[in-house]
Structure 1
Amino acid sequence: MFTEVLPAKRLYVENSIPAFSREEPFANLLMDLQTKGWSVQDDFFSTDFTQALMDEAESIQNVFMLQAGVGRKQDHQIVLDSRRDYIQWIDPDKPVRVDFLKMMADLRVALNRRLFLGLFDYEAHFARYEEGAFYEKHIDAFKGESNRILSTVLYLNEGWQDGDGGELVIYDENDPSIEVGRFFPKKGRLAVFLSECFYHEVMVAKRTRHSIAGWFRVNNTTGSTLDPDQ
């Protein structure tokens, strides 16, 4: 009896493939942020590196993911009426995760040099939206009350089509009732926007949807208060 043997996914080795698809990967993104405060870049990372991240996202078993909530640390709450995705925070415990965090650290340096944002670090998690999941319109940081300065979302979905749902909708900085863009979560697409300025939402997904959501942060630690991560 013949049994089909499926090809095994390639084991990622740290620094084994080029991470970026362009010689100057940050140029267009930096220009967009400087002029309008948000940017959507297709094929930001190389095809092979994006595939490695997608393999990593798809390999995470649901049992090792957490129901996403709103708020940080002691203020964290599960609010299913607001969002229904599952997450796993990214620690530098595997080669592909190490390299992803390194590349985002390089972007942080470029952002500080060009835009003088004073970004201190970057935190990110894998996100999984099962069929029917969504995230209602929200803002990632309230002015003067958060250390999140720039939000990022990298999409890791093959063959996303019209009708699959799960689009990212970004709203106008001055009038949150006006859409400035609606974007499919297609493989390799990176969205970046000012966390305090742009309301956004994730429309209901009609199939499983993977992404990496992250935030560049400033350090708000004081002598009496520790600035928490995640």
Structure 2
Amino acid sequence: MDAVQLPKSWNVDHILNDLDQHGFAIIDHAYAAEYVHALADECTSHLNQFRDAAIQNGVVSNIRSDHILWINEELNTAQQHIQHLNALSNCMNQAFFLGIQEAEAHFACYNAGEFYALHRDNPQGKNGRIISTVYYLHEEWQEGWGGELRLQDKNDQWHIIAPKTNRIAIFQSDLLHEVLQAKHQRLSITAWLRSGNSIW
């Protein structure tokens, strides 16, 4: 088991139950305010390094228009979030025998007018992504600003998940989903919990 202590707001039993029943789970108030602020600072201070997002093998597609920055060991604040996801992966592996071995993640920025059309993160099970997560790190969000995650759960029910500050959405990577058009800058960390080395 990873030595990282999960925040108290991460109710593991509730997360595991929601994943089992619906294929997705939500964590609200995920981190202390100080960490949210530090993470937002780290993200915004690197915005000039973001690039157009690609869908596979560097191919830029018109199904998405966001901008990303892959998270490496130099982004120390974001790495803390990845460590927590790794610890959660251990819990999911024990509960569901998923075989998660690693996480890959990037910062994502959706400016006004940007979106990501309907897709699956692991189409036909071809890329090793098992669980997808989105952490909303902008320090303010208002209803009507767009950028919601629209997700079809494992029971074929549709859900609209608002990108509330300090919220994490966790879902099976094979579920159909989209990011609705943003009307205000929306910042997040997208991470995939994977079974092996990335081919993307």
Q: TM-score, normalised by structure 1?
A: 0.78
Q: Which deviations, in whole Å up to 9, do the C-alpha atoms of 1:38-65 show, x marking residues without a partner?
A: 1112112233222221221122132x11
Greater displacement, 187-196 / 96-105: 96-105
Q: Distance in 1 between matches of 2:10 and 2:146?
A: 32
Q: Distance in 2 between matches of 1:26 and 1:174?
A: 22
| TM-superposed deviation, 1:20 | 5.1
Q: How does 1:39-118 map to 2 (within 5 A)?
A: 39-62=25-48, 64-71=49-56, 75-79=57-61, 81-118=62-99
| TM-superposed deviation, 1:173 | 3.4
Match of 1:228 in 2: 198
Secondary structure at the counterpart of residue 92 of structure 1: coil
Q: Which amino acid aligns with 1:42?
A: D
Q: Distance in 2 between matches of 1:53 and 1:229?
A: 27
Q: Distance in 2 between matches of 1:23 and 1:207?
A: 27
Match of 1:207 in 2: 184
Decide which structure has the larger Cα Rg and report it.
Answer: 1
Q: Distance in 1 between matches of 2:33 and 2:5?
A: 9
Secondary structure at the counterpart of residue 143 of structure 1: helix
Secondary structure at the counterpart of residue 38 of structure 2: helix
Q: Which deviations, in whole Å up to 9, do the C-alpha atoms of 1:56-80 show, x marking residues without a partner?
A: 1122132x11110111xxx33101x
What RMSD, in angstroms, separates the aligned Cα atoms of the two structures? Answer: 2.0
Secondary structure at the counterpart of residue 204 of structure 1: coil
Q: Distance in 1 between matches of 2:13 and 2:108?
A: 27
Q: Which blocks of at least 5 consecutive residues in structure 2 are unaligned?
A: none
Q: Distance in 2 between matches of 1:118 and 1:65?
A: 31
Relative distance call for 1:110 and 1:20 in structure 2 (3 A) is closer
Q: Which blocks of at least 5 consecutive residues in structure 1 are unaligned?
A: 1-17, 220-226
Q: How many pairs are equivalent?
A: 197
Percent of aligned positions that are identical: 35
Q: How does 1:1-230 map to 2 (within 5 A)?
A: 21-22=7-8, 25-62=11-48, 64-71=49-56, 75-79=57-61, 81-173=62-154, 175=156, 180-196=158-174, 198-219=175-196, 227-230=197-200
| TM-superposed deviation, 1:23 | 6.7
Q: Which deviations, in whole Å up to 9, do the C-alpha atoms of 1:93-146 show, x marking residues without a partner?
A: 143133222212111111111221110100000000111100001111123322
Contact in 2 for aligned 1:19/1:45 (Cα 8 Å): no
* Relative contact order higher in (CA < 8 Å, ≥ 6 apart): 2
Q: Distance in 2 between matches of 1:191 and 1:105?
A: 15
